[in-house]
A = this chain, B = another copy of it.
Amino acid sequence: MNQHTTARLLITCPDRPGIVHAVSSFLFNHGANITALDQYATAAEGGTYFMRLEFQTPHLDLSRQVLAQTFAEAVAARYEMHWQISHAADRKRVVIMVSRHDHAMLELLWRWSRQALPCDIQAVISNHADLAADVQRFGVPFHHVVVSAERRDEAEARMQEIAAGADLLILARYMQILSPAWVDLWPQKIINIHHSFLPAFVGANPYQQAYDKGVKLIGATAHYVTAELDQGPIIEQGVARVSHRDDVDSLRSLGQDLERQVLARAVRWHLEDRIIVHGHKTIVFD
């Protein structure tokens, strides 16, 4: 697939007959060739309808702007659609936030450096200085922003400055709690990796919690961040088998492998516009 000419259309609307017809006719009539199409409705009738299309733009008879405007007027208004068109050529800008654990961040940087994550990483922000060299080696700016309970506002203002213009923030084991006000600035634009199989083991030290409970599988969960801790819409989850022989250290070690894989999948899906948030759940057209 030529990524430079690929566009993606995400649609959410009340379900009713004729949507596929209307959208595909519109695209066909304007010279767009549909190369992928997924849809889902929450109910057989009267539910909410979701659609993801990929189409190729070389033979479009309209400019990007006019295409969007025309779609809004000719199709979206009629079906009361929430929608967005994005172009693969416009790489999303990403900021990674991290504390001291390097595994999740390095996995993202490494995949990005070998073109496996289609984005521009504009900065890494950390509340510790430890990982500066690891980040800079990839040619990515590293910002050390100290966070203290008394001056969280100041730190968040600084982070907001660094992240200005970003399309996505990734909390790759960022161990500070962000203020609800700050989170609200980035609706459905912050992905966190939580080191448990949510909703089990919310909060601090999930590997210790898993050990204490004696579970036989541990997990990791990537989710969008909302004001409520560890309660945002789940994007992806993974598990690994463990046994009584595992102590908290070996759970952590196995879990970090999960975290890397689960977060990388979730981020890729986001960058490829495969996720639609619906209420507190996600539709993932993977």
Find out whether the CB atom of A214 lies under 8 angstroms from the CB atom of B244: no
**Which residues from B are CB-within-8-Å of A239?**
217, 239
Among B2, B24, B106, B137, which residue has its beta carbon within 8 angstroms of that of A44?
B2
Find out whether the CB atom of A21 lies under 8 angstroms from the CB atom of B17: no
In the assembled complex, how far is the CB of residue A204 from the closest CB belonging to chain B, in whole angstroms?
16
How many copies the complex holds: the figure is 4
From A30-38, A90-98, A158-166, the one touching the partner chain is A30-38
Cβ of A233 < 8 Å from any Cβ of B?
yes
User: Residue on B with the closest CB to A266?
Assistant: B216
User: Residue on B with the closest CB to A33?
Assistant: B17
Complex formed: what's the CA distance from A257 to B116 in Å? Answer: 12
In the assembled complex, how far is the CB of residue A67 from the closest CB belonging to chain B, in whole angstroms?
16
Find out whether the CB atom of B39 lies under 8 angstroms from the CB atom of A36: yes
Complex formed: what's the CA distance from A217 to B235 in Å? Answer: 11
Find out whether the CB atom of A1 lies under 8 angstroms from the CB atom of B237: no
**Which residues from B are CB-within-8-Å of A219?**
217
Cβ of A20 < 8 Å from any Cβ of B?
yes
**Which residues from B are CB-within-8-Å of A213?**
198-199, 234, 281
Once A28-B18, A214-B233, A236-B216 are accepted as A-B contacts, the answer to whether A1 and B44 lie under 8 Å apart by CB is yes
User: Residue on B with the closest CB to A209?
Assistant: B199
Find out whether the CB atom of B217 lies under 8 angstroms from the CB atom of A197: yes
In the assembled complex, how far is the CB of residue A229 from the closest CB belonging to chain B, in whole angstroms?
15
In the assembled complex, how far is the CB of residue A201 from the closest CB belonging to chain B, in whole angstroms?
8
Complex formed: what's the CA distance from A280 to B116 in Å? Answer: 30
**Which residues from B are CB-within-8-Å of A35?**
41, 44
Listed in ascending order, the chain A residues whose CB lies under 8 Å from chain B are 1-2, 17-18, 20-21, 24-25, 27-28, 33-41, 44, 56, 102, 106, 110, 114, 116, 137, 197-201, 213-217, 219, 233-239, 243-245, 253, 257, 261, 280-284
| 28 cross-chain CB contacts under 8 A | A17-B28, A20-B34, A21-B21, A21-B25, A25-B25, A34-B39, A35-B41, A35-B44, A36-B39, A38-B38, A40-B244, A102-B114, A116-B253, A213-B281, A214-B233, A214-B234, A214-B281, A214-B282, A215-B234, A216-B234, A216-B235, A217-B219, A217-B239, A243-B284, A244-B281, A244-B283, A244-B284, A257-B261
